[in-house]
Amino acid sequence: MPSNKSVSDAPIVQFTNCRILRDHQLQREDLWVREGKILNPEKLFFDEKGSADVQLDCKDSIIAPGFIDVQINGGFGVDFSLATDDFKSGIDMVSQKILSHGVTSFCPTLVTSPPSVYHQVLPQITVRNGGAHGAGILGAHLEGPFISKEKKGAHPEHCLRTFEAGAFQDLLATYGSLNCVQIVTLAPEMRRSSEVIQELTKRGICVSLGHSVANLSQAEEAVQHGATFITHLFNAMLPFHHRDPGIVGLLTSDKIPAGRRVFYGMISDGIHTNPAALRIAHRAHPKGLVLVTDAIAGMGLAPGRHTLGQQVVEIDGLNTYIAGTKTLSGSVATMDTCVRHFQEATGCSVETALEAASLHPAQLLGIEHKKGTLNYDSDADFLMLNDSLYVQATYIAGEEVWRQDVSGM
């Protein structure tokens, strides 16, 4: 073939002078992008005889896959668990603003709510690609209402539900539709949860265990029926006990079906999980750790009173409590902060910290062929970061969608 133009007229951009996170290592090579995808330069040179149309000097930045947040309840005054007339503009604003945190895809999360809220909100959530308008939406994460009363955390007790005779039909009636749903968090010790887990898994929906008093054998049974995730490990579950380690025991269980990996979310904000607990989990099962923010509407706002679904919460520094109590309710951490704290607390490599917010959530959702890596042919959703893991620029489909303003520095 005479030139790259015979394959595509789209410009080829070559990012130079960078270290790329690929195959679990930072590699000093260039990144080639065309039509929103990452190119294999060898094919470009040898098969197409092509070359770059544009070269960009990255000034020795780290280039890493974009972060994927699978548990975020809102931010900047927007609460995904509130049915409002301008819900769509709210979700648009959050997806735009989290670009500066390095998030290129996310799962808007709804906490336990009345059925009317699900029926109003879920039809307004559309799975969509990211771009200059904001981070991509991978589908909703429904956390509750099929959870334990004892471990409800910040979820309103009057909205909790159990599976009755209809089991899966009860769930459908509660949510109204599963069209845009990516993850459901439920308590596996509930009667009839096994058949619900099987039905959800059959539909390609990820089942997560959380807000639960399950013992280890109940948790293992849930995994055998298809559950693959643990919602914010250590939070809202029985504490680890040496004779029955509960859900936490899944990290080292020998009853996980062959070829299956259990992933677990961690809120690495320095508040929800003591650094020692973070280290224990990471050392026990490093390949399953998924960083989540669990951010609420108050993220990005001044301390004071905000909402989390049906509840009023109070932000005091980095702590968020249900108003008038000491019950933690989500976080105000940003994803890039969680990545930095995780690396600092565990002493893990830069590569490991970055993969916990990109590769692992992509593997959890089964989208690692296009997101969460910088492999050839995957989506060109990536970040430029400095050595301290501060985000300098965010790219989606190869286009710059956010850049740190250095003029005032």
Binding residues for Zn(2+): 143, 211, 232
Distance between CA atoms of residues 233 and 60, nearest Å:
36
Per the annotation, the verdict on 269 as an active-site residue is: no
Tell whether the torsion through CA atoms of 160, 163, 165 and 167 is positive or negative.
positive
Distance between CA atoms of residues 283 and 348, nearest Å:
10
Which is it for strands 31-34 and 12-22: parallel, antiparallel or unpaired?
antiparallel
Tell which residue, 340, 231, 239, 235, has the closest CA to residue 290: 231
**Cβ neighbours of residue 85 under 8 Å, at least 6 residues apart?**
none
> Buried b vs exposed e over 285-319: b needs ≥16 C-beta within 10 Å?
beebbbbbbbbbbbbbeeeeebbbbbbebbbeeeb
Q: Choosing from 69, 79, 269, 294, which is the catalytic residue?
A: 294
Chain-centroid distance, C-alpha 276: 22
Distance between CA atoms of residues 139 and 197, nearest Å:
18
Residues belonging to the binding site are 143, 154, 211, 232, 235-236, 243, 272, 328-330
Tokens found for residue 137: 């939406």
The residue to which tokens 């005479």 are assigned: 2
Tokens found for residue 216: 């280890």
**Long-range CB contact pairs, 319-328, < 8 A, 24+:** 319/271, 320/296, 322/154, 327/153, 327/154, 328/153, 328/154, 328/235, 328/271, 328/272
390, 399 contact by CB (below 8 A): no
367, 206 contact by CB (below 8 A): no
The residue to which tokens 């989990």 are assigned: 281
Tell which residue, 76, 125, 66, has the closest CA to residue 99: 66
- The phi and psi torsions of 350 (rounded to 5 degrees) equal -55, -40
145 cis-preceded (ω within 30 degrees of 0): yes
Catalytically active residues, by annotation: 294
